[in-house]
């Protein structure tokens, strides 16, 4: 009898512990998503009233214009056009540098999966993926700003972003190709199709959605980068599309607004725009990935 009672006692202790732990898990999980909800709420609440047409069609105001508007209690004039064009310009340049090479390296890794050299390349791109973006900014400063363009430039910014994108594209290409059935490739070879045509006409088309997902994710990763651009592209008050001149970018503008007490109101709208852009790319790429599998 005694034994049974103690048995029951232990059982309730165990079930209570079990329930308590479940409660903790649910509590902490809810706590985890609290920040994202708070951040999105804050950006929308403070940023939405500043977003209008001129936000997308005009360059950033100078601090005097902003101060006058602030004193008169008006909405700060101007927009972030120089940042939007700069971001797009540098991301396109970075994509031109990183995407073709990245896909080629990805194909190489897939084709030579077990070779020693391929393992080395795979390890290197894994390590590169973890390199802090500010270090890539330093590198691009040493290589491009000092030795190629002789000053801060869009090219330098794009190089930093491109090096950042490269390992992401390599790994996503390889992972995508691995999922294509071997038989498709073998069928093409059996028909006597030359090697490069198998790559271009069979491998790449049949993995297109996967490649696209990887590319969009890589772009969304570099869109919001600020630190490497501070060291390389510097920023510019006007729209610049010259690869050897300083260029602005949306995150750089946010940093400038943050440091200028007259323009500080613009940080929320610019951040809202930047985050919306990044999250939209993220969701689109996930939608593509979900559709193709």
Is there binding between residue 44 and another protein (CB under 8 A)? Answer: no
| # residues contacting another protein (CB under 8 A) | 78
Give the x-and-dash track for 212-231 against another protein (CB under 8 A).
--------x--xxxxx--xx
Residues 83 and 250: beta-carbon distance below 8 Å: yes
Closest by alpha carbon to 110, among 200, 188, 166, 172? Answer: 172
From 70-78, 110-118, 177-185, 206-214, give the range in contact with another protein by CB under 8 A. 110-118
120: contact with another protein by CB under 8 A: yes
Residue 268 in tokens: 């929320």
Q: Looking at residue 249, what DSSP letter applies? A: -
Which residue shows structure tokens 């006692």? 9
Given the rule CB under 8 A, which of 74-82, 128-136, 207-215, 237-245 is the region that contacts another protein? 128-136
**Cα 209 from Cα 8, distance rounded (Å):** 57
Using CB under 8 A, which of the segments 57-65, 99-107, 207-215, 238-246 binds another protein?
A: 99-107
Tokens representing 109? 């890794």
Binding mask 78-97 for another protein (x = CB under 8 A): --------------------
Using the Cα atoms of residue 195, residue 200, residue 205 and residue 208 in order, give the sign of their dihedral. Answer: positive
Helix (H, G, I), strand (E, B) or coil at 142: helix
Nearest to another protein of 30, 53 (CB atom): 30
Q: Binding to another protein by residue 205, rule CB under 8 A? A: no
Which residues, numbered 236-275, are part of the site for another protein (CB under 8 A)? 251, 254-255, 258, 267-268, 271, 274-275
Task: Tell the smallest beta-carbon distance from residue 282 to another protein (Å).
Answer: 5
């Amino acid at each position: 009898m005694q034994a049974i009672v103690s048995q029951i006692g232990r059982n309730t202790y165990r079930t209570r512990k079990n329930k308590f732990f479940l409660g903790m898990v649910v509590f902490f999980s809810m706590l985890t998503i609290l920040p994202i909800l708070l951040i999105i709420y804050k950006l929308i609440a403070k940023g939405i009233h500043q977003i209008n047409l001129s936000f997308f069609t005009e360059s950033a105001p100078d601090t005097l214009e902003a101060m006058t508007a602030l004193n008169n209690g008006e909405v700060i004039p101007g927009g972030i056009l120089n940042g939007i064009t700069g971001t797009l310009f540098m991301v396109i340049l970075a994509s031109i540098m990183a995407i073709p090479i990245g896909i080629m390296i990805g194909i190489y890794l897939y084709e030579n999966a077990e070779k020693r050299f391929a393992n080395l390349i795979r390890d290197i791109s894994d390590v590169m993926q973890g390199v802090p973006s500010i270090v890539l900014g330093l590198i691009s400063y040493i290589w491009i700003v000092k030795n190629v363009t002789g000053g801060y430039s869009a090219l330098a910014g794009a190089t930093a972003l491109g090096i950042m994108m490269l390992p992401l594209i390599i790994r996503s290409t390889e992972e995508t190709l691995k999922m294509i059935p071997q038989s498709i490739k073998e069928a093409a070879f059996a028909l006597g199709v030359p090697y490069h045509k198998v790559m271009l006409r069979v491998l790449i088309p049949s993995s297109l959605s996967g490649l696209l997902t990887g590319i969009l994710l890589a772009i969304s990763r570099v869109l919001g980068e600020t630190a490497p651009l501070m060291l390389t592209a510097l920023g510019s008050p006007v729209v610049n599309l010259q690869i050897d001149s300083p260029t602005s970018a949306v995150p750089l503008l946010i940093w400038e607004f943050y440091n200028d007490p007259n323009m500080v109101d613009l940080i929320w709208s610019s951040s809202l725009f930047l985050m919306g852009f990044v999250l939209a790319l993220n969701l689109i790429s996930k939608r593509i990935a979900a559709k193709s599998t």
